[in-house]
Structure 1
Amino acid sequence: MPASGGARAKMVRARNRWRRLPLPARILLWIVGILFAIWLILFITKGRFLKRPFERIMTSQLQRDVQVGGDFQLYFAPISIKFRAERFAIANVPWASRPQLFRADLIDSLISPVSLIFGKRYRVHWLDLRGGAVDLEWSRDHLRNTWTLGDPDRKGKPMTLPLIRQAMLAGTTLRYRDPRMRFNTDIRFETVRTRDTRFASDVRFSGDGDMNGRSFTMKGGLLTPNATVTGGRNQLVLRAMADATIVDITGTLPGATELERSDLRLVAQGPNLARLFDFLGVAIPDTRRYRFTSALTKAGEEWRFTHLKGRFGDSDLAGRMTVSLPDERLLIQADLATQTLDIIDVGPFIGYDPQRLEAQGAAGAIETVGGAPRVLPDAPLRIEAIRNFDADVRYTVRTIRAPNVPISNAAVTVKLDHSRLTLSPFTFDMAGGHVASDIGIDARNRPVRTTYDIRLSPTPMGKLLARWGVEESGTSGTIKARVQMTGLGDSLHDSLANSNGRIAVILPAGTMWARNIQLSELDIGTFVTKMFSGKLKKPVQINCGLIAFTVRDGVAAADPILIDTAKNVMTGRGGFSFKDESLDFAFRADGKKISLFSGQSPVGINGYFARPGISVISPELIARGGSAVALGIVGTPIASLLAFLDVGDAKGAACGPILAGAHAAAQRTKGGEPRDDVGRGTTAKDEGGKSGAKKDKKFLGIF
């Protein structure tokens, strides 16, 4: 009796203490008690009694049939959620190519309960997956996918992997299909064994697939899977190969599936960098053999390539690049720089075959078409490829290694916005001058429409033409120029072959010194006199000059060619064609003062862009020679010299219209009279089809 009385007294005191507690405290203690009871029941039973309710609830929530064919466990151990299921399967949506989204002989895991309630991504501390198969697919319209669970008509969301700290995989495969991105892959994970609660080997995987119609294979693994047990990092090794293109990725990941804050190094190499970007469906210019290294990490939705450096062909490249998918459209942003760019490596940028350039050098830019040499590339712009992405790229070059023209400090901003490509501004220094240009390529409609606006600031003539025999010492003349054209076509050749516009080169006042300048004028009397008097190196005084062409449907006609010097007026007619790249024009010099032994005959320039020719023996000169012979026979030897007499009646040019780059119709003599010796912006055939040579016998008939 006393004992039972003592027990009752304790119960009364405990009840009184409970009643004295504030109501919130009592409620909290009840909740803790209930939770502990649930935890205890689950821990003792391993939650096996929840198997059928789990299947029903998950089937309802996911709107996919969920089944567990073997043992089932769901409990707290002690805080993390322990989930274990044998012969576990989740059915796929009806339109998928496989009946099951996921199946596994065994799935054993420890899951963070906090991440299930508050986290955007589930955190898995441990995953043991055996005999697993995952099937991930996008629908053909790219509106739905198999891993967006719930309503089958719900718009598909991007795939977000759970954050897995440690994993053990055995006989597991992953299948991924994306019809819009044209990407398919199958990955196989090798069996991994453990020893004394630690991995006895690396987590290895291999696979194959195709992307944008190009096949690839890959292999790799996590080399330090035990490091995550103590909060370390996984060491990743991955190699992907496609023919001669090889990409190696090494480094560390925070977790087995954690890419954020990863510290990776990429090495890419192959015969042509364009083939690597083909896997992304991105069109870039072809290159010669390349090798690049880069730091690689993922930040949010961006893949960042930093500290990028390497070589392509005989040129270097460094900088950074970011690849992202804003609004589900691929965007490439880059800031790149080259210290020395070899001129051969420039060729593929505008459509030349890099293999031909590699094997033949500059000669590889020339092809024979229809029996004639062609130098303008006809590689078509890859219209479908540039529709797949946008770009914003800044590229600078310090020096371009070129044998004939010194070019340096090039810079271009390349922007691609829904099939409209612009190179603006595109600038570089050349021979002491500066070239600024804006080029736009609009591929939104067919045919492609390209606009060219290229401007050359005043450039020292001696430095620009030094490779062609013009001496810098004694040459003070400059050259400035502008090209404004619009063309239609998918390649550079086609665009220019259908172009319209104007090309103008202006020579302000200055001097030019070249050893054979008089040969170009064919003033034989002056040339011989200077040669024997030792005055050959005296500079030629240029008052002003204009070499201009009007381009119509790809044919450029002189409009005008007019150069006024101290002693001569040089004029020209004819032109060239972007269609077949033929050259056919002539120019001549008429003296302002009387001169003996003057051939007074035009110099013809013919042939092709890739193989130009100069003709200094013209029918006119032969006719003059015949006249001289006739006069020598019927008269005296002195009389034969009259055939080579230049009476010096050339009219000086007004420099105002010349320096303004005006058309031929606007050109004037110094006296203000219209000039009739510089053409009318057409070829030598007039609108009526008559040869312009018949109008002025001083010029060769051309075109």
Structure 2
Amino acid sequence: MDEATQRIEQPAPAVSEPARRRRRLLRNILLGVAGVLLAAWLVLFLTKGRFLKHTAESLAGRALGRDVKVAGDFQLYFAPFKIRFVAEGLTVANPAWAERPQLFRADRVDALIAPWSMLFGRRRFYSLDLVNGAADLEYDKAHTANTWTFGTGKQGGKPFEFPRVDQASVAGTTVRFRDPRMPLTADLRIDPFRSADARIGRAIGVHGAGVVRTTPFTVEARLLSPDATVNRGQNQLALTAHAAGNVIDITGTLPTIADFEDVPLQVRARGRNMANLLDIIGVVIPNTRTYRLAAQLVKQGEIYRFTHLAGRFGDSDLAGRLTVTNGARVRLDSELATRSLDIVDAAPFIGYNPDIVATQGVQAAAAATGAGARRILPDAALPVKTMGAFDAGLHWTVGVVKSRHVPISDLDLTLALDRGRLALSPFTFTMARGHVASDVIFDTRQRPSADRYDIRLAPTPLGRLLAGYGVAEAGTSGTVRGRIQIEGRGDTVHQSLATGSGRIAFVLPTGTFWTRNVQLAELDIGTFVQKMFQHALKEPVRINCGLIGFTVRGGVAAADPILIDTQKNVILGRGGFSFKTEALDLALRADAKKFSLFSGQSPIGIGGDFAAPSLDVISPQLVGRAGVALGLALVAAPPAAILAFIDPGDAKAAACGPVLAGATAAQQRTIKGKARDDVGNGGTGKSESGKRSGGEKQEQRKKFLGIF
């Protein structure tokens, strides 16, 4: 027998007595624990754990930091391996600051709970039977605490986490939500339902009403697969709300029945006026016509992000993104783009109601804002109080503005609203192939509002600019550039301009124009009639330079100067207009540089008001002279026509340097460098009456605009 075999056959060493005692002790302990557990289970099962009622209330109250009470029957036991929990008249208190005393109450709660889920992971209910439950969810005024966050702790408490539920039966349950920051209050009722095997066979309905700020609303929602919601995060939400004439539809998939954070939701809104929609949350935008928009909404704390926004308002399209921050101050930030903007839809930006503009015209829209009769400047007041309650930032681009008269495109607007100071800067667009850049500010921090307009027009083709008014573009090479700078005080466009002071100047560099376009403006009526019969209306007329300037003081604009130097004439103008009354009172005269057979010298009058200007081109003197001259030209020799119009043609050509620099009347010179005495000096108290025989110039004083 070898050594290995001997080792195998040797008997095992005997177990020591101390080791046997330890084994027996461990076995007895295990049996004792099992016996205690069995006894406890048996006691709980037989008594249903009712004797634990006060202990459970105390433990739950300390864990939640709230009073927890059970007014009726209480059961807590294993049945057999699931925890059975029954509570009748269950209440969980709200914090002391809450408007209502109870966070949750129910006539009866009956649940089967997975034991290990109470210690590890997310709590799981195999079944839940809830009868006449009511939840009250509130934020505090500072928006730093809410009723569903329990305890205080270093982390500020822990929000309630809805358990996973496999089967549920719910009847008579309501939910109240209140957020004093908005402020928002909603009262919702959940339709009764019963589910089995994580399926309910029909949607859960939620109905209710509430108030956002001062706007009442109603809401209807459906949870299309609620058991999947609380169990596997597959719930389909479909919600429709009605408020202030708007309809809002929200659809999406929720991970839990009460979890909207970081969840993409599809939002659609439609109504008669988008301004009414945003007014619900205290945000003011210009009125719109009927709108329809769609976007994706994601909520992240106080931030609501609307992306992939697309839709229409009136006859215009809109796309982009919008962010609403519901913090201590509401703030809107948006990046928007429009391919085609109807000019009617742009009317609200200066205070007009677009529906009235579309159906009744600008004058009726102005009247609707409170403006007087025959006025077109809107008197719609800035919403000063609301503008100070929220902030905003906007960048908006527009491809084409659909307009009957002036072609506008490539609009680019940057808007900033900061505690009542509204700045449209920069605000640029292309008009008739010319570039317009502007900065407009309404500072409502000052009372009344301090307003500033600075509008700059780059060189723009006149033919293209005036094409919408019946002026042909072909044959016209003239351009115009200009600037408007006005500062005033007022809470409406009309008030700010009626108190404004500044300067308006439009400069005409050299260019050519059709004779038929400029002949009447030059008051060469006889030549116009003659050339009309000669079919020679396309002969070009050369503009050397021109300046149409006004000095604005206290809302009254006085010509300073109106001076246009053409190949044949010097056109002069005096008078002005008023932003206060919107009255026009201008006189224009053309002096010939050389002898002309048909040159009417009575001044042309531009009167009326902004809404209905009147043009007195053919004055009684000109009618007589043109009629006589035409008749003599037809039946008599040319010398007879000379009797009707005699003009030696001694007008002094303008020095174009000051004109092209946009200088005031005081800086204007003749081509020989002498100061001009035939242009207005920035006042509206005189009107040029024209030349009399022998070339003697006289002026006739008159009152303009009814204020001088």
Shorter chain as normaliser: what TM range? 0.7 to 0.9
2 CA distance for matches of 1:115 and 1:482?
Answer: 75
2:54 to 52, 55, 58: 52
Larger Rg: 2
How far the C-alpha of 1:516 sits from its partner, in A, is: 4.4
Residue equivalent to 1:65: 67
Residue equivalent to 1:100: 102
How far the C-alpha of 1:613 sits from its partner, in A, is: 0.8
* TM-score normalised by L of structure 2: 0.83
Give 3-state SS (helix, strand or coil) of 1:520's partner: coil
Contact in 2 for aligned 1:124/1:162 (Cα 8 Å): no
Amino acid at match of 2:20: M
How far the C-alpha of 1:505 sits from its partner, in A, is: 0.9
**Given the alignment of the two structures, is residue 331 of structure 1 paired with residue 340 of structure 2, yes or no?**
no
Give 3-state SS (helix, strand or coil) of 1:276's partner: helix
Residue equivalent to 2:607: 606
How far the C-alpha of 1:113 sits from its partner, in A, is: 10
1 CA distance for matches of 2:411 and 2:49?
Answer: 70
Moved more, 283-292 or 484-493: 484-493
Residue equivalent to 1:24: none
* TM-score normalised by L of structure 1: 0.83
Contact in 2 for aligned 1:292/1:310 (Cα 8 Å): yes
Residue equivalent to 1:392: 393
Amino acid at match of 1:357: V
Decide whether aligned partners of structure 1 residues 432 and 158 sit closer, same or farther in structure 2, where only a CA change above 3 A counts: farther
Residue equivalent to 2:184: 183
Decide whether aligned partners of structure 1 residues 95 and 299 sit closer, same or farther in structure 2, where only a CA change above 3 A counts: closer
2 CA distance for matches of 1:276 and 1:421?
Answer: 21
Q: What are the within-5 Å matches in structure 2 for residues 53-132 of structure 1?
A: 53-57=55-59, 59=61, 64-72=66-74, 85-93=87-95, 96-107=98-109, 128-132=129-133
Q: What are the within-5 Å matches in structure 2 for residues 358-437 of structure 1?
A: 358-360=358-360, 364-365=364-365, 367=367, 372-437=373-438
Give 3-state SS (helix, strand or coil) of 1:356's partner: helix
Give 3-state SS (helix, strand or coil) of 2:279's partner: helix
Contact in 2 for aligned 1:250/1:264 (Cα 8 Å): yes
1 CA distance for matches of 2:328 and 2:80?
Answer: 42
Decide whether aligned partners of structure 1 residues 586 and 527 sit closer, same or farther in structure 2, where only a CA change above 3 A counts: same
Amino acid at match of 2:89: R
Contact in 2 for aligned 1:320/1:335 (Cα 8 Å): yes
How far the C-alpha of 1:617 sits from its partner, in A, is: 4.3
Note the alpha carbon deviations across 1:336-365, whole angstroms, 9 max, x for none.
111111111111222111331343355654
1 CA distance for matches of 2:534 and 2:283?
Answer: 66
2 CA distance for matches of 1:118 and 1:444?
Answer: 57
2 CA distance for matches of 1:43 and 1:606?
Answer: 105
The RMSD of aligned alpha carbons is: 4.2
Amino acid at match of 2:294: T
2 CA distance for matches of 1:117 and 1:322?
Answer: 40
Amino acid at match of 1:434: H
Contact in 2 for aligned 1:470/1:513 (Cα 8 Å): no
**Given the alignment of the two structures, is residue 206 of structure 1 paired with residue 215 of structure 2, yes or no?**
no
How far the C-alpha of 1:304 sits from its partner, in A, is: 2.4
2 CA distance for matches of 1:407 and 1:112?
Answer: 69
Decide whether aligned partners of structure 1 residues 497 and 50 sit closer, same or farther in structure 2, where only a CA change above 3 A counts: farther
Residue equivalent to 2:5: none
Give 3-state SS (helix, strand or coil) of 1:373's partner: coil
1 CA distance for matches of 2:42 and 2:572?
Answer: 103
How far the C-alpha of 1:331 sits from its partner, in A, is: 2.2
How far the C-alpha of 1:536 sits from its partner, in A, is: 2.7
Decide whether aligned partners of structure 1 residues 541 and 65 sit closer, same or farther in structure 2, where only a CA change above 3 A counts: same
Decide whether aligned partners of structure 1 residues 693 and 448 sit closer, same or farther in structure 2, where only a CA change above 3 A counts: farther
2 CA distance for matches of 1:494 and 1:379?
Answer: 10
Residue equivalent to 1:162: 161
Decide whether aligned partners of structure 1 residues 189 and 42 sit closer, same or farther in structure 2, where only a CA change above 3 A counts: farther
Contact in 2 for aligned 1:43/1:77 (Cα 8 Å): no
1 CA distance for matches of 2:329 and 2:35?
Answer: 50
Contact in 2 for aligned 1:39/1:76 (Cα 8 Å): no
2 CA distance for matches of 1:116 and 1:274?
Answer: 50
1 CA distance for matches of 2:96 and 2:444?
Answer: 39
How far the C-alpha of 1:639 sits from its partner, in A, is: 9.2
2 CA distance for matches of 1:606 and 1:365?
Answer: 23
Gap regions ≥5 residues in structure 2:
1-13, 630-637, 691-696
Q: What are the within-5 Å matches in structure 2 for residues 435-474 of structure 1?
A: 435-474=436-475
Number of equivalenced pairs: 669
How far the C-alpha of 1:80 sits from its partner, in A, is: 10
**Given the alignment of the two structures, is residue 560 of structure 1 paired with residue 600 of structure 2, yes or no?**
no
Q: What are the within-5 Å matches in structure 2 for residues 253-264 of structure 1?
A: 253-264=254-265
Gap regions ≥5 residues in structure 1:
19-28, 629-636, 686-690
Moved more, 163-172 or 263-272: 163-172
Note the alpha carbon deviations across 1:587-640, whole angstroms, 9 max, x for none.
111111122332212111111112111012447769989999xxxxxxxx9799
Contact in 2 for aligned 1:474/1:511 (Cα 8 Å): yes
2 CA distance for matches of 1:79 and 1:559?
Answer: 98
